Each structure stands twice: as C-alpha cells, then as structure tokens.
Structure 1
Amino acid sequence: MNVTFDHEIAERPAGFQGPNLTPAGLELIPRELAPGVHALMANLPPKDNSGVIAGADAALVIDAGITPQVARHIRSLAAGLTPAPVRYLVNTTYHGDHTFGNAAFPADVTIVSHRANRDAMTDLGREKAMRAESMYGDEALLDAVTTWRRPDLVFDSSCEIDLGGGQLAALHWFGQGNGPGDTVVHVPSARTAWTGNFVAVGGIAMLLQGGPGPYLAAVRRMRDALPGLEWIVPGHGPIGSAPVALAELITYLERLESEVAEAVDAGLTLEETYARCTDPFEHGLPDSLLGGLAAYDLPQEIARTRFRHAVRELHRLNVLVTYRVRTGRPAR
C-alpha cells in the first residue's frame, strides 16, 4: 500500500535533531554568478540561501527568509547590488524559513510561486510550530511573524519573468519533491538554477512529503528539461555542479525506495528498517559537497561535522517518511 501526505508529517525519528535554521549569526554573502545575477549565500551551514536576479528594468529576489528581519537584510543587499527596483519575489517552497519574510516586502512587490505552495500557506500556527523545531532556543524570534503573506501570482507548470535587457528568470515545477510545489528558478544567462529544497549538493534529500517515487520522477524531468544547466544554488548548503547534484540525488532516492520496499515486504519494523537501510553519509561527506564547505565562516572540521550530522539526521527522516508512505500506516 502507498499513500501520500497532504502536509509535511509531524512525526520525527527518536532523538531527531533537525538542521539549525535560526537566523542568529546569519549573514548573506553575495556571490556574482553572471552580470546581474547574485547568489546570497549563508555564512553558516545549513541556514537559508537567497538570490537576486537583476535586469535593466526590474530585479527579482529568491526566497524571503525565516523572519522579517532576514527579509529586510535581503532587501538591503539587493539595493546595494543593483539600481533596478525589486519588483518580484519568488518562493521556492511554502516552508516558513523561505516565506515568513514575505510580509516585510512592500505591497508593490509581486510574490510568485507554484499554485500548490500558495494553497499550502493557510495555517500559520502549524507552520511556525514546524519550523520552531529548527530554531534551537531562538523560537521567540518567530513571534515577529504575525502575517503569512501568500503569493500574489501563481503558475502550474512554468512561466517566464522578463526583467529587461534580455535578463529572464524561468520558473519551473517538475512535480512533487520535498513538498508539493517545489519551484525551480532557472536563469539562462548564468546557466544556474535556484532549487530551494528540491535539489541540494551531495545527494542530500529533504523528503518530507510524497515519498521517493514521485520525487524521482520530478528530478528526472528537471534533468531532461534543462540539459545545459551547469550550477545549482540550493536553499541550504553550498553551490555545486548541477549534473553531479542531480545524478547523486537520483542515486540516493533510487536506493532509498528500493531498500525501504524490501524491508516492508520482509515485514520489518520501522526500527529494523533504519538498521537495514544504507547510510550514505556513514563514512563522511561526498567530494561534491566537501569542496563547497570552504565558503563558510567556520573551521573546515567544524563545518564538516555540522553537515555530516545534519545530513545523517535527514537520512533517518527520509527512511521514516518512506516507510510511512510505503506501508500506509498513519504517522504517530
């Protein structure tokens, strides 16, 4: 039996420690990828990245941050990077660490995302509770989030935003992935895509809804639809090679789906399934991820330890979600 979940499940593995997303100590460092195209990279892993795409007439910001204060930081950076006014804000997912800052953008900024993201943005209290588990003592910062501003404009498959002077931002939805409405922002001039929680470097998946089957299909569609793509800027973690990141994610999801299916067919319990499944990060981080850690404001050994812990915890969560989807058993 297979099921999908309408919302992110609240169940977590025993002792689970999610990624630390508190904005305390967060600085976003601009990195120019092409004329007018800047990644805004978090100085501490694995906090949220952002981006600014500027054309002759307008600029577009990718993701708004977890609090209004972070959103104001993003707006200040954008104003320093381009004279073009920010006219658009894209939400790559509905998750609060990407959208709670929406309300701090002026009303004349059009927020754009996939329809499923807008539809999921209905229960602010629940979403704040979900993100609070990753605040690690800074939960009170979410008190500043009193309004969950939803997208003004939605799309279903793809759309293009013309920023002037030949600068285009193409928005794509390839299917169910980490969430129902994962929005990829492809900037052809930089051969780069912002992928939110959909694709990260190093084969890391944040599998919170739907299971690996739909996710695999969506990742393969992205790979086939954007053959010239060279780089990805994920929602969390370093910039990396798009072909390598997509291939590693496909390998991870294929193995996860196969191993959990075998465990369920053998009648194993959830705890037995954890033990049966391959931990791809048991012996360290892949080379594709290690190279990007030098950009962080941390000694390399500390950065490696933090990332290794975070991705191993995400792997345990992925096994849990896949097991629940496969068995159709309700989450506790």
Structure 2
Amino acid sequence: MTDEPVTSEPLSDPAVRVSGAEEIAPDLLVIPNHRVALVPNIGVIGGTDAVLVVETGIGTANAEQVLAFASEVAKGRRLYLTTTHFHPEHAFGAQVFAGRATYLVNRAQADDLSTKGAGYLEMFRAFGGHVAHRLDGVQVPTPDVVYDDDACDLDLGGRTVRLRPTGRGHTKGDQVVEVPDAGVLFTGDLAETGQFAIFPWFPPYDTDVSGVRWLTVMDRLAATGPRVVVPGHGDPGGPQVLTDVRDYLRELRDETWRRRDSAMGEAEIVAEVRALLIDRHPEWAGQEWIERGVGCLCAEHAV
C-alpha cells in the first residue's frame, strides 16, 4: 500500500466503550467514539423483528464487544451488520459477526474491500503499538450480501432503514444509513465534527477520494434535513454538521484552486492553505489532513 503511515504521532488505544451507549431515538443507540482516534461512532438500530449494527470498530476484540452489546439489545431478534465504508476502524471486525449476523454492503464498498482491504490492513498494522495489536488475527471481511449501487431498504419490522450509496467522495464506496422515522443519518467519514475532513489521498496507491465529488455529496445530504447526524468521528449533532463540512470543503477547494490557478507550486500552496485554515479553525484536530486535501484538489478539476 504505502511505506508511510498516515501520521507519525503515537496513537492511543482505539478501544470501543460500549458502556457509553446513548439512546438518541426509540430503539436507536449510538456507541460514541469519545473523540478517540480510530474509533468510529457505532449505531445499533432496532425494529420489532431485527437489529442493524452500523460499524464494528477496529479489530476482533472491539467487534466482540459490539456484537455482545447488540445481541443483548436484540434479545433474540435477527442481527444485521453494515459498514459505511471499507476503512479498518469501520469494517475490520466484521469477521466476528460471521454466522451471527448478515453483513450487507453496497457493491462499490465490496469492491473496495476486495481490491484495497489488504493494503489498508498492512498500512494500519505499520502504525505499530495499540493499533497493530488490535489488528492481530484480523482478516479482510467478505460481505454476505452485496446490493447494487442504488439503495437498499432494510425492513427491521415496523422500521425501515435505508442504506444509500452516495457515489465517490471520501472513498469510492461510501454509504450512508438513514433511519427515516427517527430523522437520523449515519454518514461515516463523509462528515466529522471537531476536525478537518479526512482525505485518504495516497498517490499512487489510492487516489479514489474526490474533494469535488465529496462537496456535491454534502450538498445532496444537507438538502435532506435530518434531525440528528451521526458523523464517522466526533459528536453527533443536527443538520448543521452537514453544512459545516460542506462549507469547509468549499473553503478548502476555493483556497487551493485560487493558488493552483495562479501557478504556485504545490508545496507553497500547502503551506499557505494550511496556515490559513488552521487560523480559521484553531480548535479542530487532524491538521495533517489539510495537506492531503490540498494534494487531492490540486489534481482535480471541476466535474
């Protein structure tokens, strides 16, 4: 995949804490990530007949906790699992659910798992420490059910959950999870709170992230007006979560393209845009992602 880790900073243990689960609507819980790096927000969505788990956490030990928690919530109801995209902290615990839950994803995400999963497993293991330990014994997951890239309405009994691919954005295979009766939207890493947008821009190994298309996706999602938005990482919030991310992506695009089109070199563009955006958003984490975003947008054109 790549010889260089995403960040050189030591990472804390990416442990999921199921004891912190919060009910944000009837029979709809979120296990929050508590702003711990490489821990996603995880959903447990119930109907009268079945329960859907959204995300696994990174590695088998985290996934075992999530499965045990979901099984307790389900109390005999059928279990389903889905993931918003193929990255390890979201999907690389799915093997634990084999035989216990039906794992279903959109076709583009399944393609990402099969073509890029092994490379990302290698890259994340290279972080060493807690992350490598969490990935001991992990295998790239294989979904049980793959649906074509339109949408999949999953009937949980008295509650229908819509799995909706968004098209290329943060990854090629992004999928959002909508709970229409509760007005809840799980975005995966299309949206975060309290940090700069995550751009997995690793040329020549992975260049599927698209800042231009991501911005289009956020325009569409913002227009749906959900009551609660559960981001991939950070605190859940209202519809402002979506517009904040959209506005940041527009800001990143405009500042990058203004300099690119004036024939500045990429290193100089990175330095100027990074300083500008940190000054505008000094409280946000993930400053290393600004450079990746600039690189991506320097290579992109309007579509």
How much has 1:325 moved relative to structure 2? Answer: 3.8
Tell me the CA shift for residue 110 of structure 1: 1.7
| Percent of matched pairs sharing the same residue | 26
Deviation at 1:10, TM superposition (A): 4.7
Q: Which runs of 5+ in 1 are unaligned?
A: 1-8, 287-307, 327-332
Q: CA RMSD in A?
A: 2.6
Residues 61-85 of structure 1: CA deviation (Å, up to 9, x unaligned): 0012211111110011112323243
Corresponding residue for 2:167? 175
1:194 paired with 2:186, answer: yes
Aligned twin of 2:293 = 318
Q: Shift in Å at residue 135 of structure 1?
A: 5.5
The 3-state SS of whatever aligns with 1:277 is: helix
Q: 1:149 offset after TM fit, Å?
A: 2.4
User: Does structure 2 retain, via aligned residues, the 8 Å contact 1:12–1:317?
Assistant: no
C-alpha contact (below 8 Å) 1:174/1:221 kept by paired residues: no
Determine the structure 2 residue equivalent to 1:41: 32
C-alpha displacement of 1:196: 0.7
Given the superposition, is the C-alpha separation of residues 181 and 31 from structure 1 closer, same or farther in structure 2, using an over 3 Å criterion?
same
Matches of 2:9 and 2:164, distance apart in 1: 28
In structure 2, runs of 5+ residues without a counterpart are: 201-207
CA distance in 2, matches of 1:16, 1:147: 22
Say whether 1:112 aligns with 2:112: no
**Change in 2 beyond 3 A, CA 1:135/1:89:** farther
CA distance in 2 between counterparts of 1:253 and 1:18 reads: 25
Per the alignment, do residues 170 and 16 of structure 1 end up closer, same or farther by CA in structure 2, a change over 3 Å counting? same
Corresponding residue for residue 222 of structure 1 = 221
* 1:42 partner SS: coil
Task: Indicate conservation of the 8 Å contact 1:64/1:100, yes or no.
Answer: yes
For residue 289 of structure 1, what is the aligned residue in structure 2? none
Once the two structures are TM-superposed, the CA of residue 231 in structure 1 deviates from its matched residue by: 1.2
Could you list the per-position Cα deviations for residues 42-71 of structure 1 after superposition, in whole angstroms to 9, with x for gaps in the alignment?
Answer: 245232221100111110000122111111
| Residue in 1 that maps onto 2:261 | 265
Query: Paired residue for 1:87?
Result: 79
Indicate whether 1:282 and 2:279 are aligned. Answer: yes
Alpha carbons 2:83, 2:105 under 8 Å: kept: yes
Q: Does 1:213 align with 2:206?
A: no
Matching residue within 114, 120, 142 for 1:127: 120
Do 1:202 and 1:248's aligned partners in 2 also have CA atoms closer than 8 Å? no
Determine helix, strand or coil for the equivalent of 1:241: coil
1:247 corresponding residue in structure 2: 243
Quick one: which amino acid aligns to residue 221 of structure 1?
A: R
Partners of 2:104 and 2:220 in 1: how far apart?
22
Matches within 5 A, 1:321-332: 321-325=296-300
How many angstroms does 1:17 deviate by? 4.2
Q: Deviations over 1:81-114 (max 9, x none)?
A: 2324342101100112111111110325221222
Q: Which amino acid aligns with 1:318?
A: G
In structure 2, relative to structure 1, the CA distance for the partners of 1:284 and 1:124 (3 Å cut) is closer
CA contact (8 A) 2:196 2:287 kept: no
**TM-score of the superposed pair, with normalisation by structure 2:** 0.85
Which residue pairs with 2:231 in the alignment? 234
Give, in whole Å, the separation in 1 of the partners of 2:8 and 2:176. 27
Letter in 2 for 1:176: R
Distance 1:234 1:175 in 2: 17
How many residues in Structure 1 have an aligned counterpart in Structure 2? Answer: 290
**AA in 2 matched with 1:36:** D
Residue 5 of structure 1 aligns with which residue?
none
Residue 145 of structure 1 aligns to a residue in which SS? Answer: coil
**Contact 2:16–2:57 under 8 Å retained in 1:** no
Task: Give TM-score scaled by structure 1 length.
Answer: 0.78
Closer, same or farther in 2 for the Cα pair 1:85/1:192, shift >3 Å? same
Q: How far, CA to CA, are the matches of 1:196 and 1:27 in structure 2?
A: 18
Q: Deviations over 1:274-294 (max 9, x none)?
A: 1221543436556xxxxxxxx
**Residues 1:156 and 1:234: Cα distance change in structure 2 (over 3 Å):** same
Whole-angstrom distance in 2 between the partners of 1:44 and 1:255: 24
Mark the CA change 1:63 to 1:158 in structure 2 (over 3 Å): closer, same or farther: same
